[in-house]
Amino acid sequence: MWKDEGILTEREAVELCSFVFIAGHDTTTILIANAFRMLSEHPGLLARIRGNEEDAGRFVEELARYRGTVQRASRITTEEVTVSGVTLPKGAVVRLLNAAANRDPGKFADPDTFDIDRTTDGHFGFGAGVHSCAGAPLARMETIATTLQLARKLTSITLDPDRPIDYVRGNNLTNSGPARMYVRVEARHG
């Protein structure tokens, strides 16, 4: 726990450093793997992004909404609270399903369609509130840079039909997505 005076113990500092290392690792690799997947499912996007590089940002926001890494987050209530008519006692563990919220039809029209032209404001791909992702600017930068390189260098990305995606298992959906994915790429010439 945090000390009242706001100074970390050595153990807290070590745990915080380990957490930041982990928080920025498979979150990013999974989102980038999902970028390959969405570019394969929407073959026109490589050329579109090559022609208008600002679209890489739109692509990454929709990617974080539609096929984000963090499927679930947890909280413990600090006081009794009523949400949508359900009263939760103080100290209750609450599982927040970010991935489901990102497909909420009340918030996003036609939520199961991947559409980089939609408004993605308020998606939960990087969480929300005081505990939203501390590394979101870096994560966005990395994923946009990768997307731009793919658009500049490739004409097509296809998933290997003989080797299905092998999904991450066993972490209760916190970070979920491809653990192993086989792709075929065609390079641009000239």
Site for ligand HEM, rule CB under 6 A = 20, 23-24, 27-28, 31, 68-70, 73, 98, 125-127, 131-135, 138-139
- Residue 28 vs 156, nearer CB to ligand HEM: 28
- Residue 47 vs 145, nearer CB to ligand HEM: 145
To ligand HEM, the closest distance from the beta carbon of 97 in angstroms equals: 11
To ligand HEM, the closest distance from the beta carbon of 19 in angstroms equals: 6
CA terminus-to-terminus distance, the chain: 58
- Residue 14 vs 47, nearer CB to ligand HEM: 14
Helix, strand or coil, per DSSP, at residue 182: coil
- Residue 119 vs 132, nearer CB to ligand HEM: 132
Helix, strand or coil, per DSSP, at residue 187: strand
Exposure class string for 145-173: b at 16+ Cβ within 10 A, else e: ebbbebbeebeebebeeeeeeeebeeeee
To ligand HEM, the closest distance from the beta carbon of 117 in angstroms equals: 21
DSSP E strands, 79-162: 81-83, 86-88, 93-96, 154-159
To ligand HEM, the closest distance from the beta carbon of 138 in angstroms equals: 5
- Residue 50 vs 126, nearer CB to ligand HEM: 126
Query: Is 39 in contact with 47 (CB distance < 8 Å)?
Result: no
To ligand HEM, the closest distance from the beta carbon of 71 in angstroms equals: 9
**What is the C-alpha to C-alpha distance for residues 8 and 138, in angstroms, rounded to an integer?**
25
Indicate the residue whose CB is closest to ligand HEM.
Answer: 135
